[in-house]
Amino acid sequence: MNPEGVHFSDENYDEGEEDDNGDGEDTPHGSNSTDVPAFGAYGASQRPFITCVGKKFGRFQVHRAIRQLIDQYSDGPWISSKHIPKEVIEQMWGCFKTLYVWDQTEDTRVKNNFKFVIKERYRDIMKEHREKSAKLAIAAGHDISEKGKDFDIMKDFVPRGMQAQAWEDMCRQWNTEAWLKRSASGTSNRNTTDSGGNISRHTGGSIGYDEHRIRLTAKLGRPPRFLELFFQTHLDKASKMKYLDGDDTGKKFCTETARELYEAYSQALLEKYGDDLHDQIDDAELWAKTQKEIRGASKNNYIYGVGSSDLGFVVTGKLSAAAGCSSSFCGSQHEVKELRTQLENANMETTLLRQNQEKMQQQLAQLMTQVGILTGNRV
């Protein structure tokens, strides 16, 4: 159990190690939080001020702090987060409140997000423990899989940070027909290949798509288009380097699924909004519809390219529930009309500018002619 007075420092966390796997099997979420970074200015107590993004916080530092709280407080034979006693969750929550500050009107939402991150992270921690135990057994000469499913052997190889009795009890709970069947089914789903024979993955590293959007916004100095974000996370390594250098040609994606979705979504935008607006609009509802048509319906409403992040926030930069629908833009006719008006005004301004330039050139030519005539008369 964690001793009283434990303190964590966000400054020591390494970027890119948080396992916020964007293309996992989690569902997208809504939130009525505003569209602001989840990790911002410091409060009066010098603790970072945080906000919610979907059902998480959109910042790996916050998720990492929760991960460390789990490591510190989890010392029982709890094979999933639902087995963690309520009093232990409350102890972790009490410590979390000493690390950050937030709008007190969001207290319930922050706590719910805190519990959601525990659920996600705890699953990852248990997987890591099983794999570490398997490696210890292999190092000791046992012929078992590194995936960590030979629990009769692994129970004697306790991963660091676990108590021996608790680990033995957990191995016994995992070594049941029901758990092994669920595990095999999950492994099969994760290893499903696309039409190109590739397992559906992304190239965005270990941070979530919401964090990618926040970082890309800061880098560009403006909100990114969704496809800009998609290129950052789904182009293969060579194409991504070319794209970052400004070369937009010959894009190659990490999987056939990513390529098919990009082409289908681009075409759907063109058909819905027309040639003059399709490259100025992001439509979360259309992205969800397109990926469903390409990949088929998902029993857990999983959205490709969004993962466990909020659909609206990843695609448009605005949280889904805040807009009151699954798409922050929602194909609003008013907004489409406004964009068209802005485009027409811009075209009109360009035309007027060109006409003024032509008029000035004519006046200059006339002036030069007059100067030439005066010069000739003097001679």
How does pLDDT run across 295-329, given as a tens digit for each residue?
776 655 678 888 778 888 889 988 775 433 333 33
Range with the largest mean pLDDT of 307-311, 340-344, 351-355? 307-311
- For residues 188 and 60, the model is more confident at 60
- For residues 98 and 249, the model is more confident at 98
Kindly give the residue spans of alpha helices, DSSP state H, lying in the chain.
60-73, 86-96, 107-139, 151-154, 164-174, 177-190, 209-220, 226-234, 237-244, 256-273, 284-295, 311-316, 320-323, 333-378
pLDDT of residue 152: 93
Q: Is the pLDDT of residue 191 over 50?
A: no
pLDDT of residue 11: 35
pTM of the predicted protein model? 0.61
Share above pLDDT 90 across residues of the chain, in percent, rounded to a whole number: 35
pLDDT of residue 119: 92
Closest by alpha carbon to 236, among 265, 204, 266?
A: 204
Q: Where are the domains of the chain?
A: 10-190, 209-323
- For residues 199 and 185, the model is more confident at 185
How far apart (Å, rounded) are the C-alpha atoms in residues 18 and 4?
26
Torsion angle (degrees, nearest 10) of CA 226, 229, 230, 236: 160
How far apart (Å, rounded) are the C-alpha atoms in residues 318 and 320?
6
pLDDT of residue 73: 92
Closest by alpha carbon to 281, among 337, 235, 320, 324?
A: 337
Share above pLDDT 70 across residues of the chain, in percent, rounded to a whole number: 70
What is the average pLDDT value for the chain, to the nearest integer?
76
What is the mean predicted confidence (pLDDT) over 150-163? 93
pLDDT tens sequence across 51-78: 888 788 878 889 999 999 999 998 899 9
What is the mean predicted confidence (pLDDT) over 198-209? 59
Name residue, tokens 């966000």.
10
Least trusted range by pLDDT, from 130-139, 305-314, 329-338, 369-378: 329-338
CA atoms within 13 A on the CB side of 25: 14
Closest by alpha carbon to 219, among 227, 228, 207?
A: 228
pLDDT of residue 298: 61
pLDDT tens sequence across 268-291: 999 998 887 777 889 999 999 988
Question: Which residues lie across from 193 on neighbouring strands?
Answer: 199
What is the mean predicted confidence (pLDDT) over 165-184? 91
- For residues 59 and 23, the model is more confident at 59
pLDDT of residue 257: 86
